[in-house]
Amino acid sequence: MKSFDVAIAGAGVFGAWTAFLLARSGAKVLLVDAHGAGNSRASSGGETRIMRMSYGADEIYTRSAIRSLKLWKQFFPDVFQRTGVLVTSPRDDPYLHSTRETLGRVRYKFEWLDSNALSARFPSIALNKNSAGIYEPQSGVLLARRAVREVVGAAVEAGARFEIGRITPERLPKAGAIVFACGPWLPSIFPELLGRRIRPTRQPVFFFGNREPFDVPAWVAFREGVYALPPVEGRGFKLAIDEHGSAFDPENGERKVSAAEIQKIRAVLARRFPALADAPLLESRVCQYENTSNGDFLIDRHPQLANVWIAGGGSGHGFKHGPFVGEYIAARLAGKPREEPRFLLASKDVRQNRAVY
């Protein structure tokens, strides 16, 4: 006889929201994490994440983000800070124009800014003369570590059981369904199935001190492969490279940034935020992306284990979508929604061809 309706391995944002929503619905839920909710190894364990709706023509992620922001604000309003989000690119970039069309179609509030408007509106960001941008005034920043811990706490209050430990395919708990939402650990848990389909990469992030008030929105430059977040809760101005880094072991990988990585990010700082060119480096850390072949999520049943599900592949953009993913998994376990082809294992290749940003 089963002890739980659902057991979930991994208390990152996907696992936490799944546990919370299932427990609220009355399911008996076990949530297990090897290092604790919001731990420093986890992809969900950083300080902040950008909450944006701009996804080019990928309306599925725009709608997911809109739904997710509604749920973040409904259940955990204190983990969202409305800073606005600015996405910039060369003015003839098809991705930027597709984003404009998608946001207009779903009726999410935004502003289209040409080069002159960008310079006037955001003088702290030094952009090229041929730049254009989309500004989302209702979007902003999620306090990631705090958010995960609050969701897990709410899941426990709703009746879920949370434990520190590990669930493996060799030692499955007694449950009607088991969901492995282990992020960058998924390839090591299912090496034959996912060893080449999910690729964890090393992603250093940096926090710089601003001597004067520095009022900027969260900023994303997809074509340049850079993003930034405004100073939040005294942690400094966050700047990072969005390009996929080298292969990385989330359990034992070296998390000290190198001199070369600092030099690279300082060059970006001087070029795009000249007022901070000499700003002190307050903090740096190494986290990771867990990339699928194209950036789409992986949410599917294990092909050999009938009651086992896999949920991961956040690919560097997944955090904001935690509420949507939790709803989707809960519904799939109940056999209700039609499966999304883009989330299936069959859609994942072993060759990297990033298409979702």
For residue 185, give both structure tokens.
Answer: 């650990």
Are β-strands 237-241 and 226-229 bridged in parallel, bridged antiparallel, or unpaired? antiparallel
**Collapsed DSSP state (helix, strand, coil) of residue 326:** helix
Are β-strands 308-312 and 226-229 bridged in parallel, bridged antiparallel, or unpaired? unpaired
Domain(s) labelled CATH 3.50.50.60 in the chain stretch across 4-44+145-197+293-347
Question: In this predicted structure, what is the pLDDT of residue 321?
Answer: 98
Question: In this predicted structure, what is the pLDDT of residue 234?
Answer: 86
CB atoms within 10 A of CB 87: 29
Read off the pLDDT of each residue in 165-175 and give the average, rounded to a whole number: 96
Q: What is the pLDDT of residues 306-324, one digit of tens each?
A: 899 999 999 999 999 999 9
Q: What is the pLDDT of residues 281-300, one digit of tens each?
A: 999 999 999 999 999 999 99
Question: In this predicted structure, what is the pLDDT of residue 213?
Answer: 74
Return the CATH superfamily for domain 75-141+199-289.
D-Amino Acid Oxidase, subunit A, domain 2 (3.30.9.10)
Question: In this predicted structure, what is the pLDDT of residue 210?
Answer: 84
Cα separation, 110 vs 133, in Å, equals 10
Rg of the Cα atoms in the chain: 20
For the chain, the maximum distance between any two Cα atoms, rounded to a whole number of angstroms, is: 67
Domain(s) labelled CATH 3.30.9.10 in the chain stretch across 75-141+199-289
pTM: 0.97
Question: In this predicted structure, what is the pLDDT of residue 32?
Answer: 98
List beta partners, residue 50. 141
Cα separation, 290 vs 283, in Å, equals 23
For residue 249, give both structure tokens.
Answer: 């072991």
Tell me the CATH class for 4-44+145-197+293-347.
alpha beta
Cα separation, 100 vs 252, in Å, equals 42
The CA-CA-CA angle for residues 270, 319, 165, to 5°, reads: 120
